[in-house]
Amino acid sequence: MADTKIVNNIRTLRFMAGEMTQADLGTRIGMTRQTIAAIEAGKYSPTLEAAFRIAQVFGKTLDEVFQWEG
């Protein structure tokens, strides 16, 4: 379980939300575009609060945005 990665659909959700930019998403949830890029690339695991904010921007539940890999 400890080795299982969490993946996300943020890139797809941004595309479906009128090609929202990383910078736009970052501005809406108080993050830099580099942090959004790091989350999308699996290089940073956001806090629970930030994860909820990201899901809220896209009108999705948390598990529609973040899932266990595989």
Going by C-alpha positions, the residue among 2, 12, 1, 3 that lies closest to residue 65 is 12
Contact status: 10 vs other proteins (CB under 8 A) = no
Out of 7, 28, 32, 68, point to the residue binding other proteins (CB under 8 A): 32
Say whether residue 36 binds other proteins (CB under 8 A): yes
Tell me the β-bridge partners of 6.
Answer: 68
Task: Decide: is 44 part of the binding site for other proteins (CB under 8 A).
Answer: yes
Q: Can residue 46 be called a binding residue for other proteins (CB under 8 A)? A: yes
- What is the closest distance, in whole angstroms, from the C-beta atom of residue 39 to other proteins in the complex? 8
Distance CA 55, CA 25 (A): 11
